[in-house]
């Protein structure tokens, strides 16, 4: 749905690490360097659990530099997944204000997430280190997506092109539809082929539109 730059900025600041004196001293370059290294190590591991020591070696920084900011792999991976998802969303430009425009962008975001090699591994390997961010609990990026979807749905209801209903429940269903579509893409590709985005768009648009 519609995602404004200021909303993304808020999510990034809230989602990637917690501001503290050590984080400030490290600076954004060190943060990105460690997160980039985590991405490399996770993809290379292909589902195997990783360690902070491996990440530190890949980033070319000392282990204490990593440990001071991220106490364990779980928090480091959570920050990486948040950065990856928010960055993917931000790369898809906003379109117009209508329901058609919003659904088009939502499907484009889902398609971009499907094509992201790190996130694709998350869907493909339920046993991977990334699994908790899909199969166990709602992560920060998912919570942020729900907030953005809820606001967009409420705006559409005010405009009159989104049907009546509880925006929070409708947002949850839209997120579930898109997440399930991305997660199941690989096994259904022989059937859907290049119609995946067409059918996903129809599913979301049909769910949200005002019934005539």
132-185 pLDDT, tens digit each: 655 555 677 788 889 889 999 999 999 999 999 999 999 999 999 998 898 888
In this model, does residue 14 exceed pLDDT 50?
no
What pLDDT, on a 0 to 100 scale, did the predictor assign at position 12?
43
User: Across the chain, what does the average pLDDT equal?
Assistant: 83
> What is the DSSP code (8-state) at residue 153?
H
State how far the alpha carbon of 109 is from the alpha carbons of 52, 71, 74, 148, 160, in Å: 30, 31, 25, 13, 24
In this model, does residue 90 exceed pLDDT 90?
no
* pTM of the shown model: 0.78
| Average pLDDT rounded to a whole number, residues 186-192 | 89
Q: Is residue 8 part of a domain?
A: no
What pLDDT, on a 0 to 100 scale, did the predictor assign at position 28?
73
Q: Is residue 10 part of a domain?
A: no
- Binned at pLDDT 50, 70 and 90, residue 212 comes out as confident
Place of tokens 């282990």: 63
What pLDDT, on a 0 to 100 scale, did the predictor assign at position 48?
82
Do 121 and 43 reside in the same domain of the chain? no
* Cα dihedral: 14, 20, 24, 29 (round 10): -50
Range of the domain at 22: 16-80
pLDDT tens, position by position, 113-141 = 988 888 877 666 655 555 665 555 567 77
- Show which of 46, 80, 114 is a domain's final residue: 80
Least Cα distance to 179 among 118, 133, 117 occurs for: 133
Q: Is residue 130 part of a domain?
A: yes
Do 168 and 108 reside in the same domain of the chain? yes
Assigned token pair, 206: 């049909």
Q: Is residue 5 part of a domain?
A: no
User: Helices 140-159 and 167-192, interaxial angle, to 10°?
Assistant: 110
User: Helices 99-114 and 167-192, interaxial angle, to 10°?
Assistant: 50
pLDDT tens, position by position, 44-76 = 988 788 999 999 999 999 999 999 999 999 889
Least Cα distance to 175 among 155, 203, 154 occurs for: 203
Do 25 and 93 reside in the same domain of the chain? no
Angle at 184 between CA 7 and CA 208, to 5 degrees: 50
- Per-residue DSSP letters for 37-75? HHHHHHHHHTTS---HHHHHHHHTS-HHHHHHH-SSHHH
Q: How many domains does the chain have?
A: 2
Do 24 and 114 reside in the same domain of the chain? no
What are the φ and ψ backbone dihedral angles of 47, each rounded to 5 degrees?
A: 105, -20
Least Cα distance to 121 among 182, 207, 67 occurs for: 182
What pLDDT, on a 0 to 100 scale, did the predictor assign at position 94?
85
């Amino acid at each position: 749905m519609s995602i404004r730059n200021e909303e993304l900025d808020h999510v990034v600041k809230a989602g990637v690490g917690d501001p503290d004196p050590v984080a400030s001293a490290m600076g954004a370059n060190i943060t990105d360097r460690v997160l980039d290294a985590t991405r490399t190590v996770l993809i290379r591991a292909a589902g195997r659990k990783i360690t902070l020591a491996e990440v530190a070696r890949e980033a070319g920084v000392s282990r204490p530099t990593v440990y001071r900011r991220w106490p364990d792999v779980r928090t480091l991976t959570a920050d990486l997944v948040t950065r990856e998802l928010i960055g993917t969303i931000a790369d898809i430009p906003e379109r117009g204000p209508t329901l058609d425009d919003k659904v088009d962008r939502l499907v484009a975001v889902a398609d971009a997430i499907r094509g992201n090699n790190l996130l694709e591994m998350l869907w493909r390997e339920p046993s991977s280190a990334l699994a908790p961010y899909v199969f166990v609990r709602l992560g920060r990026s998912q919570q942020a997506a729900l907030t953005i979807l809820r606001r967009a749905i409420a705006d559409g209801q005010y405009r009159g092109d989104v049907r009546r209903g509880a925006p929070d429940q409708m947002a949850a269903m839209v997120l579930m539809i898109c997440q399930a579509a991305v997660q199941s893409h690989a096994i259904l590709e022989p059937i859907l082929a290049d119609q995946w985005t067409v059918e996903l768009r129809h599913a979301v648009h049909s769910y949200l539109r005002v019934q005539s």
